[in-house]
Every structure is written in structure tokens, then in C-alpha cells.
Amino acid sequence: GAGVSQSPSNKVTEKGKDVELRCDPISGHTALYWYRQSLGQGLEFLIYFQGNSAPDKSGLPSDRFSAERTGGSVSTLTIQRTQQEDSAVYLCASSNGRREQYFGPGTRLTVT
């Protein structure tokens, strides 16, 4: 079946602009995660959604970052007033409960 998809694959934006990144998880997966990976760094946990439970937002680096998951499926990560340090690859993953996570191809964000 289809894997996790993300859009756009690349996004270049000017400092101060808002961006929205989209994630379509694997159908039927109840859990959805957002991570950030800066060049040469490990994956940094941002936020976790599980079913209808309140999301774990403990990894969001600032209040400029927010995420929603509508209808238990598609998720959008929004970054307001982007800064150059926000430049990274943003990865979405989904899983069926606490099993292995399947990652999307990521969105490469460049803030100029």
C-alpha cells in the first residue's frame, strides 16, 4: 500500500513568512509524529498524535510552531514568522500504536 507522503518536498521561504507542511500517514495508522533533522544531526522529536488523545507537544521548540491532525489522518505542521534556524528537513512518521514508525520522504525547508 501507499507509504507516508509529505508535501511540499522542498520549500524555500523568506525569513518572517509563515509555512505549512503537510503529512499524509499510512491509512489506518493511529499514531503520527513530526521530527526535525538539521544537517548532520539526529532526529529531533517535535510532536506526537495518538488517536483522539491530546497531542504531546513537548518537543516543539517555540510557540511559533504548531500542528494539527484533522479527522485522525492528515496532519499540518505550521511554522509562523520563520527564522533561519528553522531551516532543516521536517520528517513525518506514522505507526500502528507503539510499533515501528514509517517515515515519509520529508520536506526540506530553507529559510533565506
Partner 1 sequence: GQNIDQPTEMTATEGAIVQINCTYQTSGFNGLFWYQQHAGEAPTFLSYNVLDGLEEKGRFSSFLSRSKGYSYLLLKELQMKDSASYLCAPTNDYKLSFGAGTTVTVRA
Does residue 106 belong to the site contacting partner 1 (CB under 8 A)?
Answer: yes
User: Helix, strand, or coil here: 110?
Assistant: strand
Compute the distance between CA of residue 112 and CA of residue 94 in angstroms, rounded to an integer. Answer: 30
Compute the distance between CA of residue 6 and CA of residue 93 in angstroms, rounded to an integer. Answer: 10
Long-range contacts formed by 40-44: CB under 8 A, 24+ apart:
43/91
Site size with partner 1, rule: CB under 8 A: 22
Least CB distance from residue 93 to partner 1, whole Å? 8
Q: Nearer Cβ to partner 1, position 64 or 108? A: 108
Per-residue contact track with partner 1, 8 to 47, x per CB under 8 A? Answer: -----------------------x-x-x----xxxxxx--
Per-residue contact track with partner 1, 43 to 82, x per CB under 8 A? Answer: xxx--x-x-----x--------------------------
Q: Are strands 43-50 and 31-37 parallel, antiparallel or unpaired?
A: antiparallel
